[in-house]
Structure 1
Amino acid sequence: MINTRMSMATRLSDHVSRMFMNRSPVYNGVLARFASTSTATTSPTNPTPPPPTRGFQAHKSIYNRAPAKSGPPADGKQTVGYVLHGKFTNNNTMLTLTRRYVRVGKLAEKLTDQEKIIDQVRPMQEVLGTISSGQLGFRGSKKNSYEASFQTTSRMFKLMEEKGYLNERLEIVFRQFGEGREAFLNVLNGKEGTKIRPIIYRVTDASKIRFGGDRPPGRRRV
């Protein structure tokens, strides 16, 4: 029995050897060149293995790369966009940035079907920050100047970039027709608005149009 197994193993090894020897001449030539070049640069018979890598790299494996968990946010408010409200009066320029969010996770468990639909159609808004010309040091009649509105808009765009509010789409809402409106548009079309323009998906004019009604209040005198 043992001799039979040994003879079968011998025949199998001879068969494999003949398979490699009967390869095409091109294949044999490649093996010959590889053998001749490898003998000159071959390392010792038992080369010393490289030392194991320490730290995080020692445990890195393609099988351990689990996808990042993208669960609901801790506060249950998932941001779906931002809205920049600009109110340009004859006396001041006020910019307010809000975020649109939908309720998810535990915050959405007790919502009715109607409230869930409203969240998708008209998401709720939360104020993130407000800036006006007066906060930048402009006083009196200087608050409605072109320069004041220009600096106010530039400051708002810079804060949005610093706070990381450029990761979602943005809607701009205009109100009233003060001089700061033109300054806002010039900043948006200039180099200060380079990172703001790509994320804008809607521009809305929410100015109220007076049609009849009561007598308007008297003009403010400074």
Structure 2
Amino acid sequence: MFSRITRFALNGSRIQAPLTIQPISNTIINPIRAISTTSTLNAPPRRANKKGVKPSNWLKADEKVVGWKIYATFTSNNTRANVVAVVEDTKFLEKNQHLSHNEQVIYYLQLPHRIVYSLSTGQLGFRGVQRSEYEAGFQLSSKLFKTIQEKNLFGPTDKVEIVVNGMGKGREAFSAALLGKEGQALQKNIVRISDATVLKFGGSRSKKQRRI
């Protein structure tokens, strides 16, 4: 049996001619597809902006800014701040004539918000426990007020509301920077400072605190 298989395999008349492989240089490759595939696989992830400032197209058509808000959140692990623009659609009533009076009132009571600038202590280079320290919160506040002044986000007559949330060392640093020379240019625009900290009274057992 083995001899028959050997003769069949070694029979010259039955062995096919060797396959010829074309060199890569003779093969036509679509250069556009090759470049797009390589750039997609090797390209780093796209980010909106390293500095946290949103592009100038955040304001849609037929919208105007009616106010500004600064949301400052303080936790035991980090300090964050967001500059938000309160916008109003000037043609809202024309586009939504079918809405009732109460629904129209709800829109003007809860106007849309657009995040224009965001910052956290981690973006300033603080890591781990350092993010919750007083120095990190003070540097974040100084950077926030300086960026607002450099970008000229607030006009001389714009109204700004500050909303603080949470407790921690960063809250004390934020207040000190706001009342100091760092926030002197912003003080004339502030019309309200509100506290959105949620205080627990009773209820279920709290979640175990995070340890760093």
Taking structure 1 as the reference length, what is the TM-score of the superposition? 0.63
Query: CA 1:74–1:207 in structure 2 vs 1: closer, same or farther (change >3 Å)?
Result: closer
Write the mapping of 1:21-100 to structure 2, written as runs, cut at 5 A.
Answer: 75-100=61-86
Write the mapping of 1:84-163 to structure 2, written as runs, cut at 5 A.
Answer: 84-105=70-91, 108-111=93-96, 112=99, 113-163=101-151
Q: Deviations over 1:89-110 (max 9, x none)?
A: 01110001111111114x5521
The 3-state SS of whatever aligns with 1:117 is helix
Output the CA distance in 2 between the equivalents of 1:170 and 1:125.
13
Question: Which of 152, 155, 161 is the aligned partner of 1:171?
Answer: 161
Output the CA distance in 1 between the equivalents of 2:60 and 2:173.
39
Output the CA distance in 2 between the equivalents of 1:143 and 1:74.
35
Q: Which amino acid aligns with 1:95?
A: A
Q: How many residues align?
A: 149
Q: Which amino acid aligns with 1:191?
A: K
Q: Which amino acid aligns with 1:200?
A: I
The 3-state SS of whatever aligns with 2:84 is strand
Query: CA 1:74–1:140 in structure 2 vs 1: closer, same or farther (change >3 Å)?
Result: closer
1:184 match: 174
Output the CA distance in 2 between the equivalents of 1:148 and 1:119.
38
2:10 match: none
Q: Deviations over 1:16-41 (max 9, x none)?
A: xxxxxxxxxxxxxxxxxxxxxxxxxx
2:185 match: 195
The 3-state SS of whatever aligns with 2:117 is strand
Output the CA distance in 2 between the equivalents of 1:87 and 1:121.
23
Output the CA distance in 1 between the equivalents of 2:151 and 2:94.
30
**What fraction of aligned residue pairs are identical, expressed as a percent?**
36
CA shift for structure 1 position 163: 2.0
Q: Deviations over 1:44-87 (max 9, x none)?
A: xxxxxxxxxxxxxxxxxxxxxxxxxxxxx861211011100010
Output the CA distance in 1 between the equivalents of 2:102 and 2:144.
36
CA shift for structure 1 position 115: 4.5
1:206 match: 196
The 3-state SS of whatever aligns with 1:109 is helix
Taking structure 2 as the reference length, what is the TM-score of the superposition? 0.66
1:11 match: none
Task: Structure 2: give runs of 5+ residues left out of the alignment.
Answer: 1-58
Task: Structure 1: give runs of 5+ residues left out of the alignment.
Answer: 1-72
Check conservation: 1:102, 1:119, Cα contact below 8 A.
Answer: no
CA shift for structure 1 position 114: 4.0
Q: CA RMSD in A?
A: 1.6
Check conservation: 1:93, 1:180, Cα contact below 8 A.
Answer: yes
Check conservation: 1:103, 1:119, Cα contact below 8 A.
Answer: no
2:38 match: none
Query: CA 1:115–1:128 in structure 2 vs 1: closer, same or farther (change >3 Å)?
Result: farther
The 3-state SS of whatever aligns with 2:95 is coil
